[in-house]
Amino acid sequence: MMVHLSPLLILATVLQLRTAVAAGYIQLDTVRKRDANAPPTVYDRMVKRADPHEWTLTNQDNYYYLVNITVGDPPQEFQAHLDTGSSDLWVIDKDNPLCAKTDEQYRLALQFIDYTDCNQSGTFDPDASTTLDMTDEDFFVQYADTRAAEGKFAHDDVTVAGATIKQMKLGVAETTNCTMIIGIGLPSNEYSVLLYNSEPYPNLPARMAQEGLINTNAYSLWLNDVNENKGSVLFGGVDHAKYDGTLQTLPIVDVAYYPPKSSLAVMMSGLTVSPQKDDSDPVQLFSGNIAVTLDSGAAMSYLPYEVVNEIGTALDAEFDFTTEMYYTRCNYEGYFEFEFNGFTIKAPFSDFLTPAPSSDGGYATYSDGTPMCSIGMKQSSYSDGPYSLGDSFLRNAYVVYDLDRMEISLAQAKFGVSDSDIDPIDSNGVPSATRAQGYDQTATAAVLSMETIPANEDFTLTGQPTTLDHTEPPLVTGGFETDFSFDTAPTASYSWASPTFSSFDFSFTTISFSFPTFSLITSAFGGPPDFSSLDISDFGGPTGSFPSVPTSLLASISALRNGGGGGGDSGDGTSTQNRDALRATVALAGLFAVVTTGLIVY
């Protein structure tokens, strides 16, 4: 599943065809380069006859990975985004109206706004393929960052890594603002299944197994170090030379808001942060099971609100409400330990830090000249998920996805390895893998056990000092596409939470408003909704109110985070809290809203 991340560093991974089809598996190399416009580096090496099919990957701007693919006869070549978080394969129609053509449109495409750079993926000419069979079945898919594609389903010949799948079902996107995607997740995660409850169809890895190109519907992902050029995705095989220790196997589990067994998710049981500072000890930020999707289509990771806040505190970071991200110094050293019920995967902070852009087109710095970086972890949109670990994590793990057995095996990845020791995967499972100690621990924790880290805050104290306590500004997420205003609010319900931290506890004050039932449904490309036919009587004002702010809290502490947000006025202790702290972005009917006391302004 793709997610929004502003382009900060051009790092492309171009998939080059490495081998002919070999019995049992398909093997591809990954190639990475820093200039997206430069020709990709090609590594010629022979693969033993029994190898699976190996595909070459390209690490594009935000660390998402591309593969080379051809469709049709005569073959038309494309570079597609390889995505374990989705399951549909689709191409971009040559007449897509959202292909960038002007400098301004290309600029917007770089920011994932409105347009896409069709030159990056390539476009498909349906009339040029003699093997294409178009259907009347509607195709539609939408990703987590609001990019989408719509058109028709078709059948055509698809070739990857020397293997040709005849009459593969794929989407032909007549309108899209997105890069072409090859989803290799579970068929139950196909968008037509999620949206229309349609029957799943065999997608790319499933068809490879059906055609006997690989022994079983399984593949291994090795993205390699961020500074290396080469990695691989191995369909039908496992490369023992690419990891340390033993592959630990976990069952695929369900995630929030998705049908059962539709996401490639496992239980993550904890997260420890280890800053490399003289006075810092490792701190386990939380313990307790949460289901996380291992998503190669996402540059960043999405975790619970309170966990991301603790990560920000641990890395001395500042939160920006515009981007909804934490920012810290790029030279911050240390590592995370991701815990999976019996084993851990380590990942350095540096893999999660991306230089932040400045308004002058360069990169932001602190007052002492130290570069500023965003932290590639964001708060999930909902308190109960879904959660995911993206490429910043996956670069540090060797991951084997066994879709037939509904299991995922992980080990600590090795970097810079040129040797191979490949075994095919069959119905008996992944060779040399062992069940993790907590394999059967598949229940999600009702409450996470949190270890909070006191923040390095500046406080104004007018009463009893509480220097280990502070209150974060309210958080609500969402998006609006147009501006309009009413004296009373459109109908919906929403809430936000103001977490209170201390060295001993973690608590939420939740503020809720509700409105009469009202909904708007618009096409992904239909533009903003038309309110001209609506009367003001169709809208109702909010019910609910801001809770009373404890006088003791207001009297004792006003937390200032570098002059922004936080705290509250000590007036009547009710709804006269600091205006900056009350302003928040809210999800409502797919538009943007700003919340103030008793009024929503669009």
Q: Are residues 305 and 394 in the same domain?
A: yes
Residue 386: cis peptide before it, omega within 30 degrees of 0? yes
The pLDDT of residue 111: 66
Q: Are residues 370 and 422 in the same domain?
A: yes
| Lowest mean pLDDT segment, chosen from 34-43, 61-70, 107-116, 242-251 | 34-43
Q: Which whole number is the average pLDDT over 331-358?
A: 95
Is residue 446 domain-resident?
A: no
- Overall domain count for the chain: 3
Using the predicted structure, report yes or no on whether residue 579 has a pLDDT greater than 70: no
Q: Give the structural domain span for 94.
A: 12-222
Between 386 and 24, residue with greater pLDDT: 386
C-alpha–C-alpha distance, residues 368 and 379, integer Å: 29
Q: Are residues 307 and 390 in the same domain?
A: yes
C-alpha–C-alpha distance, residues 198 and 188, integer Å: 9
Residue pair 296/391 in contact (Cβ under 8 Å)? The answer is: yes
Share of the chain above pLDDT 90, in %: 46
Mean pLDDT of the chain: 72
Rg of the Cα trace of the chain? 25
| Lowest mean pLDDT segment, chosen from 288-302, 367-381, 497-511 | 497-511
Q: Are residues 69 and 213 in the same domain?
A: yes
Is residue 25 domain-resident?
A: yes
C-alpha–C-alpha distance, residues 446 and 440, integer Å: 17
Between 558 and 351, residue with greater pLDDT: 351
Between 29 and 80, residue with greater pLDDT: 80
Q: Are residues 303 and 162 in the same domain?
A: no
The pLDDT of residue 451: 62
pLDDT digits (tens, 9 = 90+) for 68-95: 899 999 999 998 888 999 999 999 999 9
Q: Which residues contact 45 (CB under 8 A, 6 or more apart)?
A: 18, 29, 418
pLDDT confidence tier of residue 584, bands split at 50, 70 and 90: very low
Distances 397 to 166, 347, 554 between C-alpha atoms, Å? 33, 9, 46
Q: For this structure, is 295 an active site residue?
A: yes
pLDDT digits (tens, 9 = 90+) for 478-518: 333 333 333 333 333 334 344 443 333 333 333 333 333 33
Is residue 449 domain-resident?
A: no
Is residue 77 domain-resident?
A: yes
List the alpha helices (DSSP H) in 59-190: 103-110, 118-121
Q: Which whole number is the average pLDDT over 228-232?
A: 72
The pLDDT of residue 120: 86
Domain boundary among 435, 469, 495: 435
Distances 527 to 113, 150, 530 between C-alpha atoms, Å? 14, 15, 9
Q: Are residues 201 and 271 in the same domain?
A: no
The pLDDT of residue 104: 84
Q: HSE-up of 397 (CA within 13 Å, CB side)?
A: 29
DSSP 119: H
pLDDT confidence tier of residue 353, bands split at 50, 70 and 90: very high
The pLDDT of residue 105: 82
The pLDDT of residue 277: 67
* Structure token digits, residue 111: 């920011």
The pLDDT of residue 362: 86
Domain boundary among 189, 222, 255: 222
* Structure token digits, residue 301: 């990771």
Q: Are residues 216 and 254 in the same domain?
A: no
pLDDT confidence tier of residue 113, bands split at 50, 70 and 90: low
CA dihedral 461, 464, 469, 471 (to 10 degrees): -60
The pLDDT of residue 36: 30
CATH number at residue 338: 2.40.70.10
C-alpha–C-alpha distance, residues 135 and 138, integer Å: 8
The catalytically annotated residue of 61, 83, 93, 156 is 83
Q: For this structure, is 351 an active site residue?
A: no
C-alpha–C-alpha distance, residues 596 and 432, integer Å: 58
Between 301 and 540, residue with greater pLDDT: 301
Distances 95 to 72, 122, 202 between C-alpha atoms, Å? 17, 12, 28
The catalytically annotated residue of 51, 93, 295, 469 is 295
Residues paired with residue 339 on neighbouring β-strands, in sequence order: 270, 344
Q: How long a stretch of residues is the chain?
A: 602
Is residue 6 domain-resident?
A: no
* Structure token digits, residue 599: 């009024």
Is residue 444 domain-resident?
A: no
What count of other Cβ atoms lies within 10 Å of the Cβ of residue 522? 14
Q: Are residues 46 and 117 in the same domain?
A: yes
Distances 5 to 144, 278, 428 between C-alpha atoms, Å? 11, 33, 39
Which range, 254-258, 271-275, 441-445, 496-500, has the best average confidence (pLDDT)? 271-275
Can you tell me whether residue 207 is helix, strand or coil? helix
Q: Which residues contact 168 (CB under 8 A, 6 or more apart)?
A: 89, 155, 156, 157, 158, 204, 207
pTM recorded for the entire structure: 0.71
Domain boundary among 374, 403, 435: 435
Q: Are residues 137 and 169 in the same domain?
A: yes
Q: Are residues 293 and 415 in the same domain?
A: yes
Residues paired with residue 406 on neighbouring β-strands, in sequence order: none
Is residue 238 domain-resident?
A: no
Q: Are residues 480 and 566 in the same domain?
A: yes
Using the predicted structure, report yes or no on whether residue 549 has a pLDDT greater than 80: no
* Structure token digits, residue 75: 């073959």
pLDDT digits (tens, 9 = 90+) for 400-432: 999 999 999 999 999 989 899 999 999 999 999
Nearest to 494 by CA among 347, 363, 383, 344: 383
The pLDDT of residue 478: 37
Q: Are residues 291 and 429 in the same domain?
A: yes
Is residue 240 domain-resident?
A: no
